[in-house]
Chain A
Amino acid sequence: MKGKVVKHDGGGLQRRHLLFGGAAAGLGAVAAVGLQVVNGAEKAAVQPAAQVQHGSGKVPFYGARQAGIGTAPQAHGVFVALDLHPATTRERVRSLLKLLSDDAARLTQGKAALADTEAELAVHPARLTVTFGFGPRLVHIVAPQQAPGWLKPLPDFSIDKLVPEFSGGDLLLQICSDDPVTVAHAQRMLLKDCRSFAAVKWVQSGFRRAHGTEASGTTMRNLFGQVDGTSNAVPGGEPYEKVVWGDGAIPSWTENGTSLVIRRIRMDLDTWDELDRSGREESVGRKLGNGAPLTGVQEHDEPDFKALNPHGFPVIADFSHMRRSRPDDESQRIFRRAYNYDAAPSGGSVSESGLIFASYQADVDKQFVPIQQRLDELDLLNTWTMPIGSAVFAIPPGCQPGGFVGDGLFTGS
């Protein structure tokens, strides 16, 4: 053994001599240039001047409406549902909402929350928003007379395979930011302040393209590769106002309030793989390349459902997702703010992926349910998708400094 070690050492020395000797003899010039290039690259990497940093982006917390709805979707989102402890009183709910609103007001502006033990993680909000949703039980505790009729579990759909781990909840926190560390810290801080009042029921973490990867406003792609959400109304426009915040025909449950349906849609990527490109496009009725309808060229071209192919069949099939989800009744519109999820696979599968389908609308029963019923009856996409979670929340208005989200429900008594 000893001899071997000595031999190895000797070999190493010889090799070293060879390498450096060679460099000195003929490769010296090349090596020197290479060294300079490396140094130059390192210098460039540490030069912050060219970097655009987005961490300081702030979305106002206080306002007539809650942030995180009309806000351009951030890259990362987590949805947390909590169940209030048994026998929680109205006054305890008030205390909880005050604490959480104060936390959110600070964190969204890049400030540490009170009693924040990781204050350094609060300094880059990166457009952090915290949006509060109230489940049936919370509204029943606080203001039963104001509970909207639609604030209840959705009707049963035949395609549903719901699990309690992703369904229901008394209080929802939608936490979104372009920075996942910021999301994690806000989630931790908010949940620390929930501990005395409520228990976590479920958590769903989602993502879109990283901030800056695509131009802002680009329609997201889901993990099937589809352009997903082309027909979404644009915040600020009249259709958006009507769909999300209501109008005379379909009023919202309270001024500047709305509703949120969260459906966890499992997407079976393994069977989706069996489908060729034309089959994938036919299932939705849109082209994979840019999301254009099969009858159009550009993403936002209006689909022509009457167009026929040379064989006399509709170009956009009657069973396609777009055809089935597109209502003839213009009032049946929803505003989507979805996130992809990609969880750990199990049972021999290599993926457990899908969509956290977050849908805002003034009235769940009048807008969301009819669409879902049509998709339940017929939608080719159902072959590869399965709803496994479902929850409905009333979204209260925003609040003003000194107030808290939901304070309007406490007035009058």
Chain B
Amino acid sequence: MSKKFIYPLLPVLVATSLALSACGTAETQGTPSSVSQDASASHGASALVVGEPWVKASKDGMTGAFGILSNTTDHDITVVGATSPAAATVELHETVPGSDGTLQMRAKDGGFVIPAKGEFVLEPGASHIMLMGLKSPLAAGDDITFELHTSDGGRLSFTAPAKDFSGANENYEGSHGTDDGHGAMDPSGEASHPASPTQSK
């Protein structure tokens, strides 16, 4: 696991991070509302914190979300899924060398395991949260909400700003060509910038 960039966590992020519910209800699509905060002692009052979150701005298709997942507990936490109102589907991806030597991204079997008292870094070219089927363009500066689901039924909501980013163009495993990578917004010129001001939040 890469631990190249470790930052103090922002208070605002800590504030929006919720203790994982030990008794989370079944997954619900749509707005990731605040989670019931039943930090049951029987499950170790597990707490996951999302730091430095951001999303690559994209006009359509797919994009990635990044950040640092910190486990404040003394037992491992496994993130098994995620949802966001911004995308039809959200998956947990890892990036691995493909048979042709190029990096390929694929769904991470078993989810992301955040070690006890440890961190799990989501970054371009490595593990990330994959948004597929964007419902509308994600313009730079938009705030995107997410909900992470853990193996013990917990939920964690967080908000990440969208940023123009030229990288994070990994290929999808099994696909060919570069068009399957995360859809870039191409911020270099207005002509290729389809986001209208009305899409901002």
Contacts and interface: CB of A to CB of B under 8 A. Distances in A.
Interface in A101-153: 102, 111-112, 114-115, 117, 119
A337 to B, nearest CB: 30
Given A117-B167, A119-B5, A401-B12, A196 B161 contact: no
Interface string B180-192: 0000010110100
Interface residues of A, number: 26
A195 B5 contact: no
A218 B185 CA distance: 48
A241 B129 CA distance: 50
B200 A99 contact: no
B52 A196 contact: no
A193 B197 CA distance: 16
Contacts of A86: 190
Chain B, interface size: which category?
A: 20 to 34
Nearest to B190: A85
A197 interface: yes
B54 interface: yes
B126 interface: no
A95 interface: yes
Interface in B151-201: 161, 163-165, 167, 185, 187-188, 190, 193, 195, 197-198, 200-201
Interface stretch (B22-30, B73-81, B138-146): B138-146
A314 B101 CA distance: 81
B50 interface: no
B141 A195 contact: no
A89 interface: yes
Q: Is the interface of B mostly helix, strand, loop or mixed?
A: loop
Given A99-B141, A196-B57, A196-B185, A114 B164 contact: no
A105 B198 CA distance: 28
A98 B164 contact: no
A310 interface: no
The 9 closest A-B pairs by CB, nearest first: A95-B141, A195-B187, A196-B140, A89-B197, A114-B54, A115-B163, A196-B187, A91-B200, A115-B165
Interface of B: 4-5, 7, 11-12, 52-54, 56-57, 66, 139-142, 161, 163-165, 167, 185, 187-188, 190, 193, 195, 197-198, 200-201
15 contacts: A87-B197, A89-B197, A91-B201, A92-B141, A95-B201, A98-B161, A99-B140, A102-B161, A117-B167, A192-B164, A193-B140, A195-B164, A196-B57, A196-B164, A196-B195
Interface of A: 85-89, 91-92, 94-96, 98-99, 102, 111-112, 114-115, 117, 119, 192-193, 195-197, 401-402
